Amino acid sequence: MPLLSQADLKAAMQRLIQSPLDPAFVQNPYAFYAEVFTGDTIRYWQDYDMPAIFDAANVQAVLRNRRFGRALPADRIGPPRPHLAAFDAVEAVSMLDLEPPDHTRLRGLVLRAFTSRRIKALAPDIHDICDRLIADLPKGGCNLIPAFCTALPVRIIARLLGVPAERCGDLLRWSNAMVAMYQAGRTLEIEHAANAAASEFTAFLSDYIDIKRRAPQDDLISHLLLAEENGQKLTRQELIGTCILLLNAGHEATVHTMGNAVKALLEHQTPPQAFTDQNIAATVEEVLRFDPPLHMFTRYSYEDTEIGDHTIRSGQQVALMLGAAGRDPALCKDPDVFDPFRAPVPHAAFGGGLHFCVGAPLARLELQIGLQRLFAARPNLTLSSPPRFANAYHFHGLERLDVTT
C-alpha cells in the first residue's frame, strides 16, 4: 500500500464528526460507537483531528505494537510552557508517557515495591474502609459517588502510600485538578488549576519523602525509596511522579468503574449470585468490558505502519477507543447486553502492552471487595433517579448516582 501524506490520510478515511462535549454523547457514547461498527472501524475523527480505532482486534494490536508509543515524537515537542511548569515536570517522569529504556527502568523499580503480596495485604484495609463508609451512608438515600465510590479509592491509596487519612481531601482535590487536563474542552483556567495542584502535590510529597527517609515504615513510599535494580534507584522527581500517577490514574479509574458497576448492577436487577466469591471476579470483568472508566487513550506512530486497511503515518497521533472495543460485535455475543455470568471476555479497560496499568490488580481487588460489601450490607439498594454521567470525556464516569439505601 503506498504511503499517504497527512492530507491524503484524512481523505482516505471515512470521517466522523461528533463533539465529545455533546450532552447526548456524554450520556451514551455507545450509540455513536454502534454506528461506527456498521462500517469501517478505523475512521478520521474530525473533532480530534486524528484517526480513531474502534474495533477490539486493532486496538489490541496497536497497544502491543512497539511502533506505537506514548512518548511525544521529537518533532512534536514544543517550547516550554511557563504556566504549566510544575505540571510538565511531573509529566516528564511519568511512566504513562515514557518509552524504553526509561519506561523499562522506572516500571521495574516500581514493581519491586508494588508487589502482589503488598496488594493482597491491603484486603483487610479495604474491608474495613468499605464497612465504615457503608455504615456512614445517610439514612434513606444519597449520591453514592462521593459517599462511597470516590471515598473508597482515595482512602486506600492514602493507606498504600502511608499518607495520613486527614490529607485525603487534599489528595482528591489535587487529583481532580490534574486529571482535568486529559478531558475534552480543556481551558486556560483548567491549566492554571492543574499547575497549582501539581505544585502543591509535589511540595507535599517532597516533604513526606524526607519524613519516610528518616523513619521508613511498611508503606509504598518507604518501599519505593528502598527499591533498587542494577544499582539504580528512583530519583526524587521520579518518586514524586510515580506517587502522583498512582493516585491520579488509579483513583480516577476505580471511582468511575465502581459507579458504573453499581449503575449496571442495579439497572439490570442483578441477582445475589453475581456477588459470590465464585463469581465476583467475572462480575467485575464484565463491568470493565461493558462500561469502562476510560474510553479513549492515544498513541503516537513512530513509523509508517499499516493497521487494518490503512497506513498510519510516522508522527501521527492515534486514538484507541477502549470503550468501543469492549462493545465490538466480533468480541463476544450480544456485546450490548450486561451479563455478569458471562465467561470473562478480554477487554482493554486497563490498556495493554508495555503500558498495561500497573495498578490493575489493586483496582480489581477494590472493586471485588467493594461491590461484595456494598450489596451484602445494602441488599435493597435501588436507584432513586436516573444516573448522570459527568462531562469528562475521555473518561466515562458518573457525577450522580442517587440511590435509596
Alpha-carbon gap, residue 219 to 161, rounded angstroms: 5
Which three cell numbers, joined as nine digits, stand for 189?
483556567
Mean pLDDT of 287-300: 97
Return d(Cα 145, Cα 403) in angstroms, integer: 10
The 10s digit of each residue's pLDDT in 120-136 is 999 999 999 999 999 99
pLDDT of residue 1: 38
Which domain CATH number covers 294? Answer: 1.10.630.10
For residue 343, is it within any domain? yes
* pLDDT band, residue 251 (cuts 50/70/90): confident
Instruction: Kindly state the average pLDDT of the residues 263-273.
Output: 97
Please check whether residue 157 is in contact with residue 246, taking contact to mean a CB–CB distance below 8 angstroms.
yes
Q: Is the pLDDT of residue 49 over 90?
A: yes
pLDDT of residue 10: 59
The distance in angstroms from the start CA to the end CA of the chain is 59
Cell of 163: 499518607
Q: How confident is the model at residue 11 (pLDDT cuts 50, 70, 90)?
A: low
The residues, any chain, with a CB within 8 Å of residue 95's CB and separated by 6 or more, are 103, 106, 107, 110, 242, 245, 355, 358
Domain that holds residue 364: 6-404
Question: Rounded to whole angstroms, how far apart are CA atoms 130 and 373?
Answer: 7
In-domain check, residue 1: no
Give strand pairing partners of 141. 404
Mean pLDDT over 113-121 rounds to 91
Mean pLDDT of 162-187: 94
pLDDT beyond 50 at 2: no
Average pLDDT over residues 244-264: 93
Under the banding of pLDDT at 50, 70 and 90, the label for residue 9 is low
Whether residue 405 contacts residue 378, with contact meaning beta carbons closer than 8 Å, is answered with yes
State residue 255's pLDDT score.
96
**pLDDT grade, residue 69 (50/70/90)?**
very high
pLDDT (0 to 100) of residue 5: 54
pLDDT at 256 over 60: yes
Give pLDDT tens digits for 190-199.
999 999 999 9
What is the pLDDT averaged over residues 198-214? Answer: 95
- Mean pLDDT across the chain: 94
Does residue 122 belong to any structural domain of this protein? yes
380 found inside a domain? yes
Q: How many domains does the chain have?
A: 1
| Residue 107 located in a structural domain | yes
**pLDDT at position 172, please?**
94
Does residue 376 belong to any structural domain of this protein? yes
Q: Does some domain include residue 295?
A: yes
209's grid cell? 519523602
Residue 210 inside a domain? The answer is yes
pLDDT of residue 231: 78
- pLDDT for residue 3: 46
